[in-house]
Chain A
Amino acid sequence: MANEERFQQIVDAEEKIEPTDWMPEGYRKTLIRQIAQHAHSEVIGMQPEGNWITRAPSLHRKAILIAKVQDEAGHGLYLYSAAETLGVNRDELQELLHQGKHKYSSIFNYPTLNWADIGAIGWLVDGAAITNQVMLTRCSYGPYSRAMVRICKEESFHQRQGYELLIRLCQGTPEQKAMAQDALNRWWWPSLMMFGPHDSDSTHTEQSMAWKIKRVSNDDLRQQFVDMTVPQANYLGISIPDPDLRWNADRGHYDFGDIDWDEFWRVVKGNGPMNRERVAHKVKAWEDGAWVREAATAYASKKRARTAA
């Protein structure tokens, strides 16, 4: 049987492709591109939340936030490992990120400016991430799918802590509730943008669907997210900044306004509010750490030599 045919048969049978299986070059490249961007997103995502670790308003919240940011590092690590099964190296992928040749989710190019932003990131950004990641647990590539299973288990804590944080603010003083509203105002649209371009403008949806790297389209996931989130915002008693948002009984879904695609592409191309800082922060940490990594390598080889002697 031809390789290509056998490959597609495995995929169609909902079985997983494993690293040593034959796979089309395009499949491999698409996966590397996507898993790397996913991993970079987790790692860069540590920064906006890390920004509030030292200022968390209570020790309990501080502990939650540290645990969460630490999880992001872990998720980045699982994902880089999944990418490495495709024959690339984590350090190479990071270097491409540092050189601006790789992207990460644009959502992290927005700043965290008040404490409620930590809640909004958990509720909206992690909520959007879960919507996508649950789908990805069924992805055809074994290592990616397994990483997703692990990540999804941890991610539900992330979303719940964020929403609970906002409940606390919305049931608090008017000043606290205003923080929550301010956060929703700033994070709502970027969160919708996280689902990517309209299906009609999405370049590789069709092939990714056939390969079962992607199982649900951008617009469908976005709709699912809006339908899920609106009642949650209502419960909090804060309003979503979209005058066109309303329930459509015929469709059985919420209608919502147009995304500002100019902003979307501006941020994707590197000109969002925080793109440069995020990459610069990452590069600095990496360069500052070079001597440490070298020292560990040098020590390990000295030790091997001593053991051998």
Chain B
Amino acid sequence: MTYEVPVAPGESADIEETIQLDGEVWPMWEVFVRARRGISHVHIGSLHAPDAETALENARDVYTRRGEGVSVWVVPSDQVHAFEPDAAEEYVEANEKVYRLATAYDIPEEVGQM
């Protein structure tokens, strides 16, 4: 099947994508799940909720219905501060310090695993 929106003959292909809303919208939360003990929380998706308690409840229902997690964090989406490589040259430069990487050093094979 397709999720492309079929355009009927004679219909405009442009559809509206925004509209003015009257009421207030529940804020958005980012959800992080620790899948099992010993590994980090990983971003798994987002959802809407009026407050942190509800966001946690919702996260449990929405993202861990199949027992996917042992621990869940929710963070208000507008509290996430991001650093995007495209917008920040110095970040890219930091990545160029190859001497930070273990692979930058040749260790003779006879030394063994290091």
Assess whether A202 is interfacial by the CB under 8 Å rule: yes
Nearest-Cβ distance from residue B27 to partner chain A, whole angstroms: 9
**How many pairs of residues, A versus B, come closer than 8 Å at their CB atoms?**
125
**Are B4 and A208 closer than 8 Å at their CB atoms?**
yes
Say which residue of A71, A81, A203 sits within 8 Å of B45 (CB atoms).
A81
Closest to B16 in A: A101
Which one of B1, B4, B25, B82 contacts A131 once the chains associate, using CB atoms below 8 Å? Answer: B1
Interface size on B, residues (CB 8 A): 36
Contact at B17–A36, with CB atoms within 8 Å?
yes
Is A90 a contact of B1 with CB atoms below 8 Å? Answer: no
Contacts of B50 in A (CB 8 A): 293, 296-297, 299-300
Determine the distance from Cα of A19 to Cα of B47 in the docked complex, in whole angstroms: 16
Identify the interface centre among A36, A105, A265, A300: most chain B CB within 10 Å of its CB: A300
Decide: A129 and B1 in contact? CB cutoff 8 A. Answer: yes
Are B2's CB and A41's CB within 8 A? no
| Contact string against B for A residues 244-266, beta-carbon threshold 8 Å, 1 for contact and 0 otherwise | 00000000000000000000110
Check B8–A268 contact: CB distance below 8 A: yes
Which chain A residues border B26 with CB–CB below 8 Å?
A: 293, 296-297
Give A63 Cβ to nearest chain B Cβ, in Å: 13
Known: A20-B86, A91-B25, A205-B4. 19 other contacts (CB 8 A): A32-B17, A33-B15, A37-B3, A37-B5, A74-B62, A81-B47, A92-B19, A93-B17, A102-B5, A136-B3, A191-B1, A203-B13, A208-B4, A218-B2, A269-B11, A290-B23, A293-B26, A296-B26, A297-B24
